[in-house]
Structure 1
Amino acid sequence: MLPSTDDSILEDTVGAQLDSEISSLQSQSKHPLRTHPFHLTPLVLSLKAARKTQATTILSSRATQATLSRLRASQKPTTSHQTSSETDISPLLSSATAQAAHSTENLYRTCAGITTFRIRDPDPHAVDSGHVLGIRIDVSTSGKFVRPYYIMLNKPWAGKELLRVHRHTVPACIPLAALAERWLPNGKGAVAMGGKEMGKKQDLSRFVRAVRREVVGYHNRISIIKGLRREFKLDEKVSRKGKGRERIIADITAADAEAKQVRIEWVDGRIGRAVVDDRGEVGKCVVVGEDGRDREVERRVVAGGMEGIGERLREGMY
């Protein structure tokens, strides 16, 4: 059954009423929640997140879109003589339009992770009359899009179609120079690779895909490390009483800039280092303690990928 217009308006009214009640609770000076605001903050954030998710789901559904299309077709211009029985649906239509634009943008960024565009260098002395090819790389991690990365390419050699990296915003830990040397060879000095002289040709498509693969892998590794820190509650304050004394893992961090090596430190003094490949699999691991290497833990860590390392570390704890 298709949801009616009244149901959508009622949902928005309930949400506004909920915000009003939360504001009322916060304004009560004698309320215990005001004395201890950290009790209220998680509840407020949880309620707002749930409301935002429900509103997004409702506005994105096909039934709602069909109802809104009929509302747009039948909407009359708002006048000063509008009676109280008539409901202004302009805010609802605006929210639906904004949600549709947001969904379209997310869909495009998800399906088209690489976008090219042309720009003009304003420098009057720029090479190739200032013509620059821009490449935008979109990456999502933990359900959110990070800031896009950009690579600018130009053609500095007259009469040749060879490209060179002009500017970029790719993180320094990504081997961009090595990837450019492999897929965008242009030679040095008087020799220009890419022609018949060296038998190597530039492949822009492979270059961009290789860069995006490295960026995605980097963000995935960073995300997994952050997830492990949350899983073992390493960023929370340690209490000397209760569960604080039961902590087994003391620290989990990236041992290098590319996050391809993960350092694990146990409370009992053992220190381990795991090497992660581009696919997220743990290739090697060394764990050293007071009694030498702990090969049992090493085998447990290497038994799978980074995503399940937390569960495997717990196998020998309890």
Structure 2
Amino acid sequence: MSTTEPPKNMEEELDSEITSIRAEIRNLQRKRRFLVSSLLTSEPIRKRLQEYQASNPPSSRDKDVSPLLDAAEKHAETNHHRVAFSATTFPFKDPSPNSENPNLLGVRIDVCAGNGRFAKPYYVLLRRVPGEDKRLQVHRHTIPAFISVDKLERAFLPVPSAREEAQAEEPLKPWKKNAKKQDLTRFVHELRRQLATWYLRMDAVNLLRGKLGVVRRSVAAYHDDDDGVWTRDILSDNQEEIRLEANDLGIVSLSPTTLETTYIRLEWQDGRVGRFKLSHSGVVERAVVIGDHGRDKLLEAALTGGDAKVETVLDRLKQHLRGVPNA
């Protein structure tokens, strides 16, 4: 049996090296695309390329550069549009042959993440209510499940029932005339606000991790002899696990409990476990820390004290370790 162990270990090491090399290649390819796009969208480079193409006869290189220039211009134009108009509407045709009302109204919502890149757009498709000319209702959407689109629809795009329609024929008091009026602008505004605050919460978690120091690895690169607390990074699009580097605060794990990123879980080296709630405005509303001797009220006060902003949580914890009270 001992003769088979070295090849297995060697095979595992080779698999781990291949996985890390592939990840590095993907990172370099992304970096290359980013640098090419940045260079081609810069005004000095574009002017020089246009002057060169105007003063020289067409060559084989122009066939390679021209598509890149066109793609860079379209990408820059799209980003400018996203910055200026974070929510846009467009007509859409329902591809289903059995649709009773194929004419739909599409809403595209763009959100910029903390790294300066735009996230994948979110879409909401609206259709007219049967028998109504002006009322709309949600047909399909790509909004995350933890954002209640149904609740927002009931609040801003209400559809009266048959009984309410019968009562509507009666004369209403002045303050009740607009009670059931739909407001598409407020619906889209509130929907984008909740998406933006969700990204701000995720950015706050990544900011805290970055201050503490993060080590990443792919899920496939697992070894029993790895030190530290490895947790699945639910905020990453890749299949990754993360571990915090050794720090003065003794925090070994910091991660959201769900993708919604409302509750953040902390774990210390001495075994204490904590959780705090993050509001839509980036404020630590409540915190609970439990150790071997019960709740740590002083540490809970440090998490929620001061300005209570999530960006300064680590600063407040450092002051707590030094014995400095949070103002």
| TM-score, structure 1 as length reference | 0.71
Aligned 8 A contact 1:238 1:244 in 2: no
| Preserved contact between residue 212 and residue 247 of structure 2 (Cα < 8 Å) | no
Question: 1:238 is matched with which residue?
Answer: 227
- The 5 A counterparts of 1:1-318 are 54-78=35-59, 88-123=61-96, 125-127=98-100, 129-141=101-113, 142-192=115-165, 198-199=176-177, 200=179, 201-233=181-213, 237-238=226-227, 248-256=250-258, 258-302=260-304, 303=306, 304-317=308-321
Q: In 2, distance between residues paired with 1:223 and 1:101?
A: 28
**2:135–2:159 CA contact under 8 A, matched in 1:** yes
Deviation per CA, 1:177-222: give whole Å up to 9, x if none.
22111111113344259x7865321110010010011011112212
- RMSD of aligned C-alpha atoms? 3.5
* Percent sequence identity over aligned pairs: 28
**Partners in 1 of 2:20 and 2:258 — Cα distance?**
38
Q: Which residue pairs with 2:220 in the alignment?
A: none
Contact 2:91-2:105 within 8 A present in 1 as well = yes
Name 1:3's counterpart in structure 2: none
Change (3 A) 1:50 1:174: closer
SS at match of 1:144: coil
For 2:33 and 2:57, how far apart are their aligned partners in 1? 29
The residue identity in structure 2 corresponding to 1:224 is: A
Structure 2's unaligned 5+ residue stretches are 1-15, 217-225, 230-244, 323-327
Distance 1:70 1:144 in 2: 31
Query: Does the Cα contact within 8 Å between 2:204 and 2:310 map onto a contact in 1?
Result: yes
Q: Output the CA distance in 2 between the equivalents of 1:66 and 1:94.
A: 16
Q: Deviations over 1:2-21 (max 9, x none)?
A: xxxxxxxxxxxxxxxxxxxx
Equivalent in the alignment of 1:21: none
Which letter maps to 1:205? Answer: T
Aligned to 1:81: none
Deviation string 1:75-100 (CA, Å, 9 cap, x unpaired) is 4234xxxxxxxx94443344333222
Find the residue that maps to 2:164 and give its secondary structure: coil
| Residues 275, 285 of structure 1: 8 Å contact kept | yes
Kept in 2, the 8 Å contact 1:229–1:235? The answer is no
C-alpha distance 124-191 of structure 1, shift in aligned 2 (>3 A): farther
Deviation of 1:247 after TM superposition, in Å, equals 7.7
Tell me if the contact between 1:184 and 1:202 (Cα under 8 Å) persists in the aligned partners. Answer: yes
Once the two structures are TM-superposed, the CA of residue 48 in structure 1 deviates from its matched residue by 6.3
* 1:235 Cα deviation after fit: 5.5
- Flag the structure with more relative contact order, 1 or 2, with Cα contacts below 8 A and sequence separation at least 6: 2
Distance across 1 between alignment mates of 2:27 and 2:152? 44
Residue 124 of structure 1 and its aligned partner are, at CA, apart by: 5.2
Match for 1:170: what amino acid? I
What is the CA–CA distance in structure 2 between the aligned matches of 1:145 and 1:230, rounded to whole Å? 20
Per the normalisation by structure 2, the TM-score is 0.69
Cα separation, partners in 2 of 1:311 and 1:90, compared to 1, 3 Å: farther
Instruction: Tell me how far 1:153 sits from its aligned partner.
Output: 1.0
Q: Deviations over 1:262-298 (max 9, x none)?
A: 2222222322221211111112222232334333322
Matches of 2:67 and 2:299, distance apart in 1: 56
Inter-partner Cα distance in structure 2 for 1:116 and 1:190: 32
Rate the CA distance shift 1:90–1:264 in 2: closer, same or farther, 3 A.
same
Unaligned stretches of 5+ residues in structure 1: 1-34, 79-86
